């Protein structure tokens, strides 16, 4: 059974809203607008040691290089913004980026996206088609560029700090995609609302932005604390402050985040992921004690990061970051 692209698109967005996604949009499968920029970015070494970004570069530029049957890309956004808890004591503590305080977003997003696909398979007219439609769920780990697709789908423009930004919910949101062979009416691309503001560029402690809308990831604190496996250049390490997993500086200063609502999804709030000596509080999720991390053995590390996005960094990296933070706090 054939269904008009506009009607199917409306159904997709209705389902997305019912599942709690704050934003949804649709892009036609095809080349991203800034494909040449991405290839130059790689060639200039701005990916640092993230060699995986060089692999499957063609699919990052055009999803059809990976999935030739793709016709549409559904993009959804789920807010994770929340107020920071108060630090529980005066002990030396590091800071963790907000996205990693609660449960692993990969799990939460995939759960919701699978529900979307189930609804489309069962409840929509396409369920009656002679050939069932195809769907591919993506959350962060696939060889696509989510922010470019989000901009193309009207979900958020790419800001000067290279984050996807929505004028109402800001930039503290996760992105997820469903690639499908359904023909869905695409949305207009997102419109840039950064204007003349340069707060994010000026606030970056490591000067990771060589130009507006361009990041040198090899200088970014998030890259240095999460992706970079070896010792951090001392000249950069001294600028990472007390950040031990990720960084929110360029988002914290963005005016669009100052009036953004807090997340409705409670699983993203700081909470104990597992039993650790003395228990884990929401404040510990946001501001872990450096002495606790320095004392971790492999078992304690595993208990602490299980079920959270913070398992991306190894035990050695967490302890490296804690040592840098302690030195930086001592120098204050």
pLDDT at 2: 59
What are the Cα distances from residue 48, in Å, to 44, 51, 102, 111, 268? Answer: 9, 8, 28, 32, 29
What pLDDT, in 10s, does the model give residues 144-153? 999 999 999 9
Asked if residue 25 belongs to a domain, the reply is yes
**3-class SS of residue 25:** strand
Asked if residue 94 belongs to a domain, the reply is no
- The reply to whether 62 belongs to the active site is no
Q: What does the mean pLDDT of the chain come to?
A: 92
Tell me, rounded to whole angstroms, the distance of Cα 68 from its chain centroid.
26
Residues 114 and 220 in one domain: no
Q: What is the pTM of this model?
A: 0.92
Residues 175 and 295 in one domain: no
pLDDT band, very low/low/confident/very high, at 275 (cuts 50, 70, 90): very low
pLDDT at 278: 46
pLDDT at 277: 42
Burial (Cβ within 10 Å: 0-12, 13-18, ≥19) of residue 191: exposed
| Packing angle of the helix pair 105-122, 5-18 (nearest 10 deg) | 130
What pLDDT, in 10s, does the model give residues 170-182? 999 999 999 999 9
Q: Which of 40-54, 205-219, 272-286 has the highest mean pLDDT?
A: 205-219
* Residue 186 structure tokens: 């695409």
What pLDDT, in 10s, does the model give residues 253-274? 999 999 999 999 999 987 544 4
pLDDT at 126: 65
pLDDT: which is higher, 331 or 141: 141
Asked if residue 98 belongs to a domain, the reply is no
Q: In the beta sheet, which residues pair with residue 177? A: 75, 138
Burial (Cβ within 10 Å: 0-12, 13-18, ≥19) of residue 56: middle
Q: Hey, CA dihedral for 207, 315, 83, 170, is it positive or negative? A: positive
Residues 175 and 256 in one domain: no
Residues 19 and 66 in one domain: yes
d(CA 28, CA 74) in angstroms, rounded, equals: 9
- What angle (nearest 5°) sits at the alpha carbon of residue 32, between those of residues 71 and 38? 145
The count of domains in the chain is 2
Residue 302 has pLDDT above 60, yes or no: yes
Residues 240 and 301 in one domain: yes
pLDDT band, very low/low/confident/very high, at 154 (cuts 50, 70, 90): very high
Largest pairwise CA distance in the chain: 68
* Residue 78 parent element (H or E): strand 72-79
Residue 73 has pLDDT above 80, yes or no: yes
What pLDDT, in 10s, does the model give residues 95-124? 999 999 999 999 999 999 999 999 998 876
pLDDT at 276: 41
Residues 166 and 228 in one domain: no
Domain end among 180, 213, 241: 180
Asked if residue 49 belongs to a domain, the reply is yes
Asked if residue 211 belongs to a domain, the reply is yes
pLDDT band, very low/low/confident/very high, at 283 (cuts 50, 70, 90): confident
Residues 144 and 235 in one domain: no
Edge-to-edge strand list for the sheet holding 135-138: 23-28, 72-79, 173-180, 135-138
pLDDT at 89: 83
The number of residues in the chain equals 332
Q: Are 29 and 73 a contacting pair, CB within 8 Å?
A: yes
pLDDT at 1: 44
Among residues 58, 62, 140, 252, the one annotated as catalytic is 140
DSSP string, 142-204: SSS-HHHHHHHTTS-EE-TTS-EEBTTTBT-EEEEEEEESS--PPPPPPPP--TT--HHHHH-
Q: In the beta sheet, which residues pair with residue 26? A: 74
Asked if residue 89 belongs to a domain, the reply is no
d(CA 276, CA 91) in angstroms, rounded, equals: 17
Domain of 32? 5-82+104-180
Residues 36 and 173 in one domain: yes
* Residue 300 structure tokens: 């304690």
Residues 40 and 176 in one domain: yes
Residue 59 has pLDDT above 50, yes or no: yes
Instruction: Provide, rounded to the nearest whole percent, the portion of the chain with pLDDT above 90.
Output: 79
Residue 53 has pLDDT above 90, yes or no: no
Q: Which residue's structure tokens are 């390490």?
A: 237
pLDDT: which is higher, 305 or 278: 305
């Amino acid at each position: 059974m054939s269904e008009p692209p506009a009607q199917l698109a409306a159904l997709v967005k209705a389902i997305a809203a019912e599942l709690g996604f704050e934003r949804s949009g649709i892009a036609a499968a095809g080349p991203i607008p800034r494909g040449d920029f991405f290839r130059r970015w790689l060639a200039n070494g701005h990916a640092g040691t993230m060699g995986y970004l060089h692999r499957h570069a063609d699919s990052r530029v055009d999803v059809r290089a990976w999935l030739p049957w793709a016709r549409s890309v559904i993009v959804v956004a789920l807010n994770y913004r929340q107020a920071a808890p108060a630090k529980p004591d005066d002990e030396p503590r590091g800071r963790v980026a907000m996205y990693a305080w609660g449960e692993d977003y990969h799990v939460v997003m995939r759960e919701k996206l699978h529900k979307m696909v189930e609804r489309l398979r069962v409840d929509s007219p396409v369920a009656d088609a002679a050939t069932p439609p195809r769907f591919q769920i993506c959350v962060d780990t696939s060889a696509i560029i989510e922010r470019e697709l989000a901009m193309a789908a009207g979900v958020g423009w790419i800001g000067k700090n290279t984050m996807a930004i929505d004028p109402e919910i800001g930039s503290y949101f996760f992105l997820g995609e469903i690639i499908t062979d359904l023909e869905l009416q695409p949305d207009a691309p997102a419109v840039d609302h950064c204007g003349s503001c340069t707060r994010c560029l000026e606030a970056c402690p490591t000067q990771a932005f060589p130009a507006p809308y361009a990041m040198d990831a090899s200088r970014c604190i998030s890259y240095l604390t999460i992706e970079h496996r070896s010792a951090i250049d001392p000249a950069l390490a001294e600028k990472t402050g007390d950040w031990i997993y990720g960084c929110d500086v360029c988002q914290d200063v963005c005016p669009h985040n100052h009036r953004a609502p807090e997340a409705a999804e409670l699983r993203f709030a700081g909470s104990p992921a597992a039993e650790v000596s003395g228990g884990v509080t929401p404040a510990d999720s946001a501001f872990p004690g450096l002495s606790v991390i320095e004392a971790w053995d492999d078992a304690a590390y595993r208990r602490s990061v299980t079920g959270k996005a913070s398992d991306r960094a190894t035990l050695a990296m967490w302890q490296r970051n804690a040592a840098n933070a302690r030195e930086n706090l001592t120098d204050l």
